[in-house]
Amino acid sequence: MDMSEPMDKGPKMKLVMVGNGMAGVRTLEELLKLAPDLYDITVFGAEPHPNYNRILLSPVLAGEQTVNDIVLNPLDWYSDNHITLHVGKKVVKIDRNARAVETEDGTSAEYDRLLLATGSNPFILPVPGSDLEGVISFRDIADVDAMVQASSKYRHAVVIGGGLLGLEAANGLMKRGMDVTVVHIGPWLMERQLDEPAARLLQKSLEAKGMKFLLQKQTAELVKGASGRVSEIKFKDGDIAPADLVVMAVGIRPNTELAESSGLHCNRGIVVNDTMQTFDPRIYSIGECAAHRGIAYGLVAPLFEQAKVCANHLAHYGIGRYEGSVTSTKLKVTGIDLFSAGDFVGGEGTESILYSDPIGGVYKKLVIKDNKLVGGVMYGDTVDGSWYFSLLRDGKNVSELRDHLMFGQDHCGNLGHGGINKAATMTDDMEVCGCNGVCKGDIVKAIREKGLFTLEDVRKHTKASSSCGSCTGLVEQILAVTAGGDYSATPKTKSMCGCTDHPHEEVRAAIKQNKLLSIPQVMEFMEWRTPNGCASCRPALNYYLLSTWPGEAEDDPQSRFINERAHANIQKDGTYSVIPRMWGGNTTPSELRRIATVAEKYNIPTVHVTGGQRIDLLGVKKEDLPKVWADLDMPSGHAYGKALRTVKTCVGSEWCRFGTQNSTQMGIDLEKAFFKMWAPHKVKLAVSGCPRNCAEVAIKDVGIIGVDSGWEIYVAGNGGIKTEVAQFLVKVKTDQEVMEYSGAFLQLYREEARYLDRTVHYVERVGLDYVKKKILDDHEGRRALYERLIFSLSVERDPWVERAKEGKLKHEFEALTV
């Protein structure tokens, strides 16, 4: 420890954790990040192992991984963090008055805070013979050892329970060479995760691997053989099957024995509130033993969310609440692709979309309610599972996607990653993230070596999926295959960044309601965790302030990304590019002469014609920027900003023999009207003079097409990572209407979109119907939106003029010498 750091006076508080599993240890990890010196920590674990990844017991049983591979926190981790670890000791008593726990062998420890992470126990069927040798559950390393041993000596294995765990156990035993029969009471397998058609496909392919099934069978008795070990299983209908090993996988029960004996309120789990606190305020509980709003979760993703919240409260930060999770399921049986989430059965008020190809072994069902995806089940092709899951979790309006929904994300316009490779079949040298050049092998290695669990972790360590995000599904699959389980769950409302728990919408509302005018004010009001934010929240806050309080909030250049601070685009070598504005794509001989002169005078190496009908000067030294702008004497093109970029036009009725409207002039008028407009992301417009659409308006944020009787307005098109055809908004008659409707749409986007959302993302989130309601139906509202936009723009000035001619922020462009 660094002794120069100020230390808290007095002894540290004592934290005792009962249970040494994944959820508990994750809480300690989160706690140590927040408050490394707050507690003396003692951990009791009943198993003789350090914390390991319980989800990966299935691959260990199947012989695909070893016990060492799945250890998450080796013993060194505990000693490095000064945690006292007692393994192989079961806590049997909590004395809440004396605030102490005691183990079977009499070891005791006092606590100021107690964390119960006792997990769950397998449910053992109360049938005669359930205590015989050879009858086990599938819960821990000892069970796996027992199964592995049995597989080398015996032949017939019976797994009771055709759920997730049972099938994984059966698969492992089969791989170990045993003859395996799965006994299931339900009419089909995994009925809590699958509907009948999907379950039948699953059964068929497991049968093809050699697994046997006895469905709708109830166990009556386990029969003792001559050796004293179990020898057969008897059913209620009188049938008998040979069984040298019986694995019970019929469910788990929260392990509440200890909590109940100490008088803590339990109801199908240790009852906790949204901060994971039990009815005794000194005692917290998380993991499979905790009942939160009546649910005891059994999957790792929600438990890790709980861990985060619990740690925050243990660290005395007191922010963050756990509000429950939606969960999804993947089966970890090699060669079987299966995914299910949410309400996949459907019923009254829901609609289902089905795709079934029994020969090809593909089955998909999506359940929709009120235009939102509420559940789904997939078999045979699950590459879009995480995409569906995120649609479901975010409650996105899918009415626009509906026609293509079944065919997956690639069919909904994502071009960034066309690869439909399934994670499991990819080789290590295949590229996953095209933006950052990350291969599957890099990701797998990072997950294994650094013990990564979440998508965020993988992004930080490997950069995969951290740029355009189109490979996110693939990365999540790799994570699921490598680390086990499904880790895609993230909190329902996403916070802006790590500096705060507030989502974008809340921050924006607070800025508006409380008239916050500066970034420090927002951070104080909203209790930011960091002294002055980070590179992702500061630019967002700056935009929210400027767009909410135009003319009152002051721009903070230090909170702008360098491009918007220097008003030019930084290039890979640290030089800049300059794109002057050419209204509607029109230029003049005199402008072109000035551009030519500037390019020669400042030795500008590359002159490039852009896709937006402008000219780009690349390789300008930063200190030359103000002089280049002065000599060009043209307006800023804002090609560097989250702002109005280009308005592309065709030559329209002025020249074209097909032109029906003067699209060039319309484009120039729009560009002049919306010039200097900052926005959540870049904004591109285009105007075509006839339906031949030479200005390619279908991929613009606002696209206008001239027809004989007026103008058609299209919105929310996109031509980048996500290619999306703009949607028809309205047809209008006059130029003034084009201006008002376009402006109102852009202002709506400026006021409501999250920072860095393009119009396509925004409209996808709120739905086109909502936009129509605001822009088409509400005439007053539309005019008000338009007027707010015009007012915002009236206080903006051309940044190039300010810097080139008035010397604003000179220091930005001048280097010092020593």
Give the integer Cα–Cα distance in Å for 298 and 302.
Answer: 8
The nearest distance, CB 530 to other proteins, in angstroms, is 6
Closer of 417 and 538 to other proteins (Cβ)? 538
Q: Which spans in 381-526 are helix H?
A: 385-394, 402-405, 440-450, 455-462, 472-483, 504-513, 519-525
Give the residue among 36, 53, 57, 219 at the shortest CA–CA distance from 139.
57
The nearest distance, CB 452 to other proteins, in angstroms, is 9
Q: Which range of residues in 85-93, 124-132, 561-569, 747-755 is near other proteins by CB under 8 A?
A: 561-569
Give the integer Cα–Cα distance in Å for 602 and 803.
Answer: 18
The nearest distance, CB 566 to other proteins, in angstroms, is 7
**Both structure tokens of 350:** 């829901």
Give the integer Cα–Cα distance in Å for 417 and 610.
Answer: 24
**Strand-pair category, 683-688 with 702-707:** parallel
The nearest distance, CB 537 to other proteins, in angstroms, is 9
**Both structure tokens of 772:** 């129509």
Q: Does 425 bind other proteins (CB under 8 A)?
A: no
Closer of 235 and 561 to other proteins (Cβ)? 561
| Residue 744, helix vs strand vs coil | helix
For residues 200 to 239, the per-residue mask of contacts with other proteins, x marking binding by CB under 8 A and - elsewhere, is: ----------------------------------------
Closer of 657 and 811 to other proteins (Cβ)? 811
Closer of 107 and 530 to other proteins (Cβ)? 530
Place of tokens 């039990």: 278
Closer of 49 and 461 to other proteins (Cβ)? 461
The nearest distance, CB 563 to other proteins, in angstroms, is 8
| Residue 321, helix vs strand vs coil | coil
Contact 136, 149 (CB under 8 A): no
Closer of 321 and 808 to other proteins (Cβ)? 808
For residues 650 to 679, the per-residue mask of contacts with other proteins, x marking binding by CB under 8 A and - elsewhere, is: ------------------------------
Give the integer Cα–Cα distance in Å for 159 and 166.
Answer: 6
The nearest distance, CB 643 to other proteins, in angstroms, is 18
**Both structure tokens of 23:** 């959820």
Closer of 192 and 450 to other proteins (Cβ)? 450
The nearest distance, CB 818 to other proteins, in angstroms, is 4
**Both structure tokens of 693:** 């659409």
Place of tokens 């009943």: 46
| Residue 547, helix vs strand vs coil | helix
The nearest distance, CB 559 to other proteins, in angstroms, is 7
Closer of 450 and 733 to other proteins (Cβ)? 450
List binders of other proteins among 786-815 (CB under 8 A).
811, 815
Phi, psi for 786 (deg, rounded to 5)? -60, -40
Contact 788, 749 (CB under 8 A): no
The nearest distance, CB 4 to other proteins, in angstroms, is 13
Closer of 519 and 628 to other proteins (Cβ)? 519
Q: Does 559 bind other proteins (CB under 8 A)?
A: yes
Q: Which range of residues in 16-24, 350-358, 558-566, 624-632 is near other proteins by CB under 8 A?
A: 558-566
Q: Does 570 bind other proteins (CB under 8 A)?
A: yes
Contact 114, 130 (CB under 8 A): no
Closer of 97 and 817 to other proteins (Cβ)? 817
Strands (E), 263-326: 270-272, 283-285, 290-292
11: burial class by Cβ within 10 Å (0-12, 13-18, 19+)? exposed
Cα of 245 vs its chain's centroid, Å: 42
The nearest distance, CB 640 to other proteins, in angstroms, is 12
Q: Does 6 bind other proteins (CB under 8 A)?
A: no
Closer of 588 and 817 to other proteins (Cβ)? 817
Give the residue among 22, 247, 292 at the shortest CA–CA distance from 132.
247
Q: Does 561 bind other proteins (CB under 8 A)?
A: yes
Closer of 105 and 524 to other proteins (Cβ)? 524
The nearest distance, CB 483 to other proteins, in angstroms, is 16
| Side chain identity, residue 440 | K
How many chain residues bind other proteins (CB under 8 A)? 28
Cα of 796 vs its chain's centroid, Å: 36
Closer of 153 and 572 to other proteins (Cβ)? 572
The nearest distance, CB 379 to other proteins, in angstroms, is 36
Closer of 459 and 614 to other proteins (Cβ)? 459
List binders of other proteins among 479-538 (CB under 8 A).
530-535, 538
Q: Does 158 bind other proteins (CB under 8 A)?
A: no
Contact 703, 726 (CB under 8 A): yes
Strands (E), 123-261: 135-137, 156-160, 179-184, 212-215, 219-224, 230-235, 240-242, 245-248, 252-254
Q: Which residues contact 56 (CB under 8 A, 6 or more apart)?
A: 65, 69, 70, 483, 484
The nearest distance, CB 457 to other proteins, in angstroms, is 8
The nearest distance, CB 523 to other proteins, in angstroms, is 11
Closer of 313 and 459 to other proteins (Cβ)? 459
The nearest distance, CB 617 to other proteins, in angstroms, is 19
What's the per-residue H, E or C state across 586-603? Answer: CCCHHHHHHHHHHHHHCC
Contact 22, 72 (CB under 8 A): yes
List binders of other proteins among 8-67 (CB under 8 A).
none
Place of tokens 């393994």: 87
Side-chain half-sphere CA neighbours of 531 within 13 A: 0
For residues 439 to 478, the per-residue mask of contacts with other proteins, x marking binding by CB under 8 A and - elsewhere, is: -----------x---------xx-x---------------
Q: Does 566 bind other proteins (CB under 8 A)?
A: yes
Q: Which residues contact 652 (CB under 8 A, 6 or more apart)?
A: 659, 661, 662, 663, 664, 665, 666, 687, 688, 689, 690, 706
Tell which one of 562, 607, 656, 801 touches other proteins (CB under 8 A). 562
The nearest distance, CB 70 to other proteins, in angstroms, is 22
Contact 425, 436 (CB under 8 A): no
Place of tokens 């392919």: 205
Closer of 348 and 449 to other proteins (Cβ)? 449
The nearest distance, CB 449 to other proteins, in angstroms, is 11
Closer of 565 and 614 to other proteins (Cβ)? 565
Q: Which residues share a beta bridge with 137?
A: 248
Q: Which range of residues in 219-227, 233-241, 551-559, 586-594 is near other proteins by CB under 8 A?
A: 551-559
Q: Which range of residues in 213-221, 569-577, 728-736, 755-763 is near other proteins by CB under 8 A?
A: 569-577
Q: Which residues contact 307 (CB under 8 A, 6 or more apart)?
A: 23, 24, 26, 27, 29, 30, 286
The nearest distance, CB 186 to other proteins, in angstroms, is 45
Tell which one of 237, 574, 589, 609 touches other proteins (CB under 8 A). 574
For residues 367 to 406, the per-residue mask of contacts with other proteins, x marking binding by CB under 8 A and - elsewhere, is: ----------------------------------------
**Both structure tokens of 422:** 């399934």
Closer of 538 and 758 to other proteins (Cβ)? 538
Q: Could you list the residues that contact other proteins (CB under 8 A)? A: 450, 460-461, 463, 530-535, 538-539, 557-562, 565-566, 570, 572, 574, 811, 815-818
